[in-house]
Amino acid sequence: MCSLSGSARILFLVITVLTLTVVTKAQRQPESEFGPVVSAYLGYLNNEQEVVDDRASRREITPGYYRRNSNRILALRQMAVKLVRQTGNDYVPELEAVTVDEFRTIFERPPQPTTLRANEVFGNKFRFIGSVRASETFYVFARLTPYEQADWMAGTSKANPIPPAGPTTGGGRVEASTRARRIGPR
């Protein structure tokens, strides 16, 4: 990796400290309020942030890459916590948080962000959950389970959709929405 000038190093350090402050603030939410599945998911996100921090400290990644991935982790955390608080279930679907310029990484034919509607299914694979503003806007999608995909393709989907979560700010405010509890085998 190329060496950074003195002013670029200072800028990188300032950005790193500010991002860590935001991530630390998000991680202060007491995870003891969640069940083992959600706690494990939040722990996984903490581990992902540690990996990104480590790579940044070794200068293996650019400041832009660091910011985007730290903000993506923050967006996933906020959405997971929001979904769990809405449903009261110890369950988090497989979430994908992407920016507009990353839509092609999960969609063959990307939708227009202005046309996204909560709970809309795309490509029989993803359900749009909501967007989170964390420095930039991340659009959060839940990957459909194989059972949901089969129901969807057969046109018999009666499963309760994942609750829509409106746009959030970096502070975690989300517009209110509700849904019935997840129904599944017991």
What pLDDT, in 10s, does the model give residues 89-142?
999 999 999 999 999 999 988 999 999 999 899 888 999 999 999 889 999 999
48 falls within a domain = yes
34 falls within a domain = yes
173 falls within a domain = no
111 falls within a domain = yes
185 falls within a domain = no
- Confidence grade of residue 2 (pLDDT, cut at 50, 70, 90): low
Sign of CA dihedral 40, 88, 69, 29: negative
CA 152, CA 150: separation in Å to the nearest integer?
A: 5
177 falls within a domain = no
Looking at residue 4, its pLDDT comes to 60
Instruction: Tally the C-alpha atoms within 13 A of residue 176's C-alpha that lie toward its C-beta.
Output: 0
Average pLDDT over residues 30-42: 85
Backbone φ, ψ for residue 86 (5° rounding)? -70, -45
35 falls within a domain = yes
**Better-scored residue on pLDDT, 175 or 38:** 38
CA 146, CA 45: separation in Å to the nearest integer?
A: 24
Entry pTM: 0.68
Q: Could you count the other beta carbons within 10 Å of the beta carbon of residue 87?
A: 18
CA 154, CA 68: separation in Å to the nearest integer?
A: 37
14 falls within a domain = yes
Range of the domain at 64: 6-154
Average pLDDT over residues 134-154: 89
State how many domains the chain has: 1
